[in-house]
Structure formats: structure tokens, C-alpha cells
Amino acid sequence: MGLRFSKMHGLGNDFVIVDCRARPLALDVQAIRTLGDRHFGVGFDQLLTIERARDARCAFAYGVWNADGSPARQCGNGVRCVARWLVRDGALAASGPQQLESPSGPIAVELLADGRVRADMGEPRFAPSAIPLLAERERDRYDIDVVGNDLEIGAVSIGNPHAVVVVDDVAAAPVEALGPQIEHADAFPERCNVGFVERRSRNAVRLRVWERGVGETLACGSGACAAVAVLRKRGEVDNEVAVALPGGTLDIRWSGPGETLWMTGPATFVFEGEWHG
């Protein structure tokens, strides 16, 4: 018998979702890579597993694996898809906030009347040790070495590490060339996701993201949160920002330090399947 799965996406950031509430995922790194291959498998940016919660405060837990088989600590677009999957399954209430257990801790989600999902992504963490980033002290801007060149970035953890690069024109940003170089820069001991952000106004930005272990994706929920958090901390955007990604727009709200950050966006079912790998 094959592996039953659901295919979903959040603004084109696509996922294979596997129900692991009855038994744990029985795939090694190579099998995850094969399943994620868009020619020899099903294809995905991340694999998501739905599991029994270990934290008594949470209804369910979920796991995240990148297309290269590496584990991830958070996935903003993914948690919205997990929430919609659980609501469709009848396992989660269709209204009101619910708690899910992510690999980086509890996260509140709520299905809205228009079908979108709102998620509490927690308070952004800027301390270098929390990201982690090799730096002596917390700054709004860091100069890091990238293959022998100094590059200015912002850095933050949204449950996973992010570097944020401000650009004049996101369409012309060297995402494929610079993204992997920053991801593997010595300053980030656990690698990082890399966002290239263009500020259009105090309430609107454009963003492209090179995701750790995946490459450039059509959308990255935690990347959108990271970009807004870095710009908001610098005083360059207001507390509500529309983030336009190649796959669509996410609405991010963050009032600033001491407050949690909220992300709102769609989660879409594509098809159900069974993989015989």
C-alpha cells in the first residue's frame, strides 16, 4: 500500500501533507528527496506531517521537511495549510483560534470567513544567539562576509533563521546567485532563508525569498514576516503591511517589540494522491 497524501499550496508555495497521527513518518532523507522531486516523485517545497500533540496546550502537532530532506523549524504558508486540512478533516473547529504545535513551539491559527487563515507567528527574535547569527551584539543592520564581499543585511528569527536584503528593484535582484551564498555564509551556522525586499510604501513591499534547503519559492510565509519585522524595527514601515510575493499577497501585522506578529493568507487544496516510491 502506498503513502496517502494531500497536495496543497499557499500562494504557490507547495506542500505534500501526510497524516501521521496513527503512525510516524517512515521515510528517510533520500525517500523525502525522491518524493519531493518534481520529475521522479510528487514534488513539493516542503513535506508536512500532521501528528498527535505532545504539548497539552495544543490540538495537534506538525512537522516540516524541506525538499532536500532537511528538517525545518517553521513554515508560515505550511501552518495555514495544516489548519485548513484539519478543519476539512473535522478535527479542528472551523471558527475561533486554535493552538497547533510547530517544531519551534505553539502557534495560534484561525480560519476566517473568507477562507483565509490567520496565524500568530510569535514575537520576532532579533538577538544573534536566537537566530542564530555570529555577531557580537544585536543590530538593525549587519555587515557580513559573503564569498569575500561585505554585504549589509537584517537578521531575525521567526522560529527559523532569516537574512533580509533591501533592494531597489526586487525583479532584478540576484536571488539565484546571491541567495545560496548568503544561505551558506559563515555568519549563519545553521544556514538561513534569504529575503530580497523592495519597499514600495509604508504599507506595501515586494519580496522574493530563497528558502533554506529548497531554493527560490513562489511565496514564503515566514520570509514575509521576517521582511516586515526587520523593516518595522528600523521604522521604515507601519504596523500593517501587504507583502507582494511572486505567488500572491500576504497581510502582515506587527505592532513592534513586545508584541506577536500576525500573518494572514490563503491555503488551497490541489489534489489527493497515493505515492508508491
For 41, half-sphere exposure in the C-beta direction (CA atoms, 13 angstrom radius) is: 21
Catalytic residues: 75, 220
The residue among 62, 120, 134, 60 whose CA lies nearest residue 92 is: 60
Burial 191-215 (b: 16+ CB within 10 A, else e): bbbbbbbbbeeeebbbbbbbbbbbb
The residue among 259, 245, 161, 253 whose CA lies nearest residue 198 is: 245
What is the rounded CA–CA span in Å between residue 202 and residue 188? 29
DSSP helix/strand/coil, 81 = helix
